[in-house]
Amino acid sequence: MVVEIRASIKATLLEADNYEITSREKTPLAKTVRTCRQLLKVESAMWLFVTTVGVEPTNNAAERTACSSVSLSPLRNILEKCQQEDI
CA 51 – CA 69 distance, rounded (Å): 32
∠ CA 70-62-45 to the nearest 5 degrees?
Answer: 150
* pLDDT at residue number 70: 55
* pLDDT at residue number 41: 95
Cβ contact 14:39 at 8 Å: no
pLDDT digits (tens, 9 = 90+) for 37-85: 999 999 988 888 888 887 777 766 666 666 555 555 666 666 666 666 6
The answer to whether residue 17 scores a pLDDT higher than 90 is yes
The kind and range of the H/E element at 60 are: helix 60-86
Positive or negative, the CA dihedral 65, 66, 67, 70 is: positive
CA 78 – CA 85 distance, rounded (Å): 11
* pLDDT at residue number 52: 82
Domain spans, the chain: 1-55, 57-87
